[in-house]
Amino acid sequence: MSKTTTTKSSETTKEVLFQKLGNTWFIFAEVNNEMIYSVMPEGMDPRDTKLELYEVIEEHMAKVAETHKRAAEAV
């Protein structure tokens, strides 16, 4: 099952894809023109998550993108 959610901040609209593989939910997003993904925190299910938590997800994905960028620069 996958679910695409569009969130709208003050300036931009972001789409996030949720995909469940086995018992694990993943988040896929495009940040700075790069496709990144992350495992959702244990126990979090996008079907039951209140919309207020999507801001937390956006912040998490931005951190993942920054970590990915730093790792790529180090290589």
- Which phi and psi (to 5°) does residue 73 adopt? -70, -30
Q: Report the pLDDT value the prediction gives residue 11, as an integer from 0 to 100.
A: 47
The mean pLDDT of 57-74, rounded to a whole number, is 76
Give residue 4's pLDDT band: very low, low, confident or very high (50, 70, 90).
low
* 11-19 average pLDDT score: 72
pTM of the predicted model as reported, rounded to 2 decimal places: 0.54
Positive or negative, the CA dihedral 16, 19, 25, 29 is negative
Query: Is the Cβ–Cβ distance between 23 and 1 less than 8 Å?
Result: no
Summarize pLDDT for 33-51 with one digit per residue, the tens: 888 888 887 888 888 866 5
Query: From the centroid of its chain, how far is CA 10?
Result: 18
- Is the pLDDT score of 6 beyond 70? no
